[in-house]
Amino acid sequence: MKVLVLGSGVIGVASAYYLAKAGHEVTVVDRQPAPALETSYANAGEVSPGYSAPWAGPGVPVKAVKWLLMKHGPLVVRPRLDPAMWVWMAQMLANCTSARYAVNKARMVRLAEYSRDLLRALRAETGIAYDERSRGTLQLFREAAQLEATAKDAAILAESGVPYEVLDVEGCIRAEPALARVREKFVGGFRLPDDETGDCHLFTQKLAALCADMGVVFRQGVNIKALSVEGGRLAGASTDAGFLTADAYVLALGSFSPLLLRPLGLSIPVYPVKGYSITAPVVDEAAAPVSTVMDETYKVAITRLGDRIRVGGTAEVCGYDMTLRPARRATLDHSVGDLFPDGGDLTKASFWCGLRPMTPDGTPVIGPTRLSNLYLNTGHGTLGWTMACGSGRVIADIVGGRKAEIETADLAMSRYS
């Protein structure tokens, strides 16, 4: 079939790759001049199936109040006259139960594990390189209560067959030797040895080049204005480069997906939650992280990407506002400076923000719509990089009428109906 993929972030490009590999004629359209220049550009760099978990969980409403009052809190809410914001927040609160958390985490881990396996296969098949490392993720706890709260995650991971380690201070230092310099700052950790890291932007651009070699056409710098419907099908996409048509359409526009769907009478609870990152050059190898360290107190990820340290975090609920706020950078600086004070040069760090497309239950929306030729691949939140290859393969299978290799029914938008 002729397939039009809307969006050239990591999700859109991964979709294009697997669609092309299945034999389809694929065109990718995006407003940016090159792939991966928005949310995929400078994310935290984690490929973390084991750390895949919904933000909504038991105890989160109480924690959220605490976070809002912290100087370096991980959550910021800037109220707006936007009904979508308040509906999304209410739906998220409704998912803050033990039962919903278990269901949501289990399906997120299922997709993320599958995606990680496909990424490894892709790497072996193509030799693609993107500052990748396979050294695991260490969730670091500054308080004993945080360590004790890992029991529910451990049970779900064990049920899913995901290896994990509960570590004391010395175990954390064995995993991340630079932490020996600040051993008094933490009490233990939770390590996921099968997790990986890598530069999502670099990966997406290299994967796009592989796609182009397979015949995929990239139409960058093209604004998508609206989608048109005729007879229960999508007739095409209106763009500033003309009306584009195809046999099937995959919408992979992240936080902007609901804006194109709404005029069609289609509603998905995807809302932007802004995240920030800094990227600093490594100045002392021995003082820098070897993989990813998650600072649980501040919900900040500190990741080694080649000769750089990427520090990502903050959940800022503020609509589509892309303002770079110095207070948010201060939180990132504080976390990395506290745990790896001599690892990178923060005076030379770049500062970035992006809009994560979040769903209330944490699970992306992947699958068909009531329009017979329109498919969704969006709503991955903080896990687009982790879930990209799996999501791309799943949507390619669904578009092609093949049975996916994992269960996909509970990923579709129909779960909200």
13 carries a ligand binding annotation: yes
- In 296-397 the beta strands, taken as DSSP E runs, fall at 300-305, 308-317, 350-358, 365-368, 374-378
| Pick from 343, 333, 395: nearest CA to 369 | 395
Each residue of 67-94: b (16+ CB within 10 Å) or e? beeeebbbbbeeeeeeebbeebbebbee
Distance CA 122, CA 206 (A): 12
3 carries a ligand binding annotation: yes
Distance CA 412, CA 216 (A): 26
216 carries a ligand binding annotation: no
16 carries a ligand binding annotation: yes
DSSP state for residue 110 in the 8-state scheme: H
- 365-368 and 374-378: which strand pairing? antiparallel
394 carries a ligand binding annotation: no
9 carries a ligand binding annotation: yes
Measure Cα distances from 347 to 91, 154, 323, 352 in Å: 40, 38, 20, 15
CB-based burial label for 204 (10 Å; 0-12, 13-18, 19+): buried
11 carries a ligand binding annotation: yes
Helices (H), 70-143: 83-94, 98-126
CB-based burial label for 403 (10 Å; 0-12, 13-18, 19+): exposed
| Pick from 2, 120, 6, 14: nearest CA to 395 | 14
417 carries a ligand binding annotation: no
161 carries a ligand binding annotation: no
- Binding positions are 3-17
Annotated binding site for FAD: 3-17
